Amino acid sequence: MARWAMGQRSVADFMFRTGPQHHESQVLIVGARAVVVLTTSRPANDGVIGALTSARATADGSAARERAWWAEQVAAAERQLDDTVRLLHAGPAPQRFTTERGRALDLDPAVIEWTGLLIVDRPAPPTGVDRGPDSGRIPLAVVLRRDWELLLHELRSAAAVVRYLDWCARRGPVPDEVPAHYAWLAVASELPLRPAESFLRALAAKPLLRDVLPGHAVIGRLLDYVASTQLDDVLDEAGRHRLLSLIDEFPVDARSDLGEWTADPAVARLRTFRFSDGIPQYVVAVMPDLNDAWSAAFHDLVQLRHHEAREQAADPASLCTFGFVLAAGANRWPWPVAYFTCLQGPVTLAPSELVRIREFWSGTVS
């Protein structure tokens, strides 16, 4: 249960409820992607098996009954998923979604890319299950609850979870030669799937989960800051959700580096984390003391990094740069967020400003 609770917190700000109370749906929404979450359960030995002529016949009958139950649950989930999305599209736009914190977010279902998730609460799937192609309009991923909890616990990223579920629903099962546990990590981190031997060698060289929990804690602290801070004067709830979605894009396999780098409170330091196009860049500072002058200087640095990245980006209009300062030593680690800013779109800096900012930070940042 502790593992489930930790994983659940990592996606709490992306879980929404929608629809009338008697037919309420739970939806995981990150950016323009959404997953309708459905659940079903059945005890492993549910049902009464009639008298059969032999022990083998009894076993075969039980297995067939379990496969039939599984197929019925998947078919019912596909129908419910199609009905849920159809009703959302049929209603007035935008539709209202409510977060676990009680905030209302209005979204147009027509601009959302929909996927379904069926969580099956049982120890294992029946043997010989062949799900076959989807019969519904919306792709549906089917996972056991234990695998769902593992997914949340290991990834701690709503964006990575949604990416994995979308891959499962649209592209079928993981190839047999790739261990499933590593395969979904590869998909979540956008690494290529490889045959087992070479893929495991790559993992041995750079384990995705090594010491990653501190990095998850830093991202979690930042998400909580944005989710809980009063931002009504500068952002509506749609803007807040966009910010949360972008922060959560910090790659899972890079979070160990983030956690290790921010953990030591002894020395003030700054660093820019850059990734491929489509993923925000993050300017991070760890400072024991932050005053107005340093806040202004740090904001200048974030503007400079955003300006420089836009000059090299393939799609400058979509580039986003986050800047945040962690107050080292102010509280128990992970340090609280002392300053936060986000830039998107063009930033105009005069040549004299570029020179001034670069000279001020020269030799200080990476």
- 40-80: pLDDT as tens digits: 887 655 543 333 333 333 455 677 888 888 888 888 999 99
- Specify the pLDDT at position 55: 37
Is 249 within a domain?
A: yes
- 167-189: pLDDT as tens digits: 778 765 444 444 455 555 666 66
- Specify the pLDDT at position 211: 61
Instruction: Please check whether residues 287 and 168 belong to one and the same domain.
Output: no
Is 191 within a domain?
A: no
Is 273 within a domain?
A: yes
Domain that holds residue 330: 213-361
Instruction: Please check whether residues 291 and 161 belong to one and the same domain.
Output: no
**Gap between the Cα atoms of 193 and 205, Å rounded:** 16
Is 247 within a domain?
A: yes
Is 158 within 8 Å of 11 (Cβ atoms)? Answer: yes
Instruction: Please check whether residues 229 and 86 belong to one and the same domain.
Output: no
Dig out the tokens for 254 from the structure: 């890079």
* Cross-strand pairs, 207: none
Strands (E), 9-134: 15-18, 25-30, 33-41, 95-99, 104-107, 113-121
Reply yes or no on whether the pLDDT at 209 is more than 80: no
Is 219 within 8 Å of 258 (Cβ atoms)? Answer: yes
Q: What letter does residue 331 receive in the DSSP assignment?
A: S
Reply yes or no on whether the pLDDT at 111 is more than 80: yes
Instruction: Please check whether residues 69 and 154 belong to one and the same domain.
Output: yes
Pairing outcome for strands 281-287 and 104-107: unpaired
Is 199 within a domain?
A: no
Among the three residues 146, 173, 200, which one is the final residue of a domain in this structure?
173
- 217-247: pLDDT as tens digits: 889 889 988 888 876 666 788 888 988 998 9
Is 135 within 8 Å of 56 (Cβ atoms)? Answer: no
- 342-353: pLDDT as tens digits: 998 888 889 999
Instruction: Please check whether residues 227 and 93 belong to one and the same domain.
Output: no
**Gap between the Cα atoms of 16 and 28, Å rounded:** 6
Rg of the chain in Å (alpha carbons): 24
Q: What are the phi and psi torsion angles at 322 (to 5°)?
A: -100, 145
Strands (E), the chain: 15-18, 25-30, 33-41, 95-99, 104-107, 113-121, 140-144, 269-273, 281-287, 320-327, 337-344
Domain count, the chain: 2
Is 37 within 8 Å of 27 (Cβ atoms)? Answer: yes
Identify the CA nearest to 231 among candidates 223, 222, 240, 243.
240
For residue 211, give the amino acid letter. Answer: D
Dig out the tokens for 358 from the structure: 């670069």
Instruction: Please check whether residues 154 and 278 belong to one and the same domain.
Output: no
Instruction: Please check whether residues 165 and 61 belong to one and the same domain.
Output: yes
* Cα dihedral sign, 67-68-71-77: negative
- Specify the pLDDT at position 51: 33
pLDDT band at 204 (very low <50, low <70, confident <90, very high): very low
Is 117 within a domain?
A: yes
**Gap between the Cα atoms of 246 and 232, Å rounded:** 19
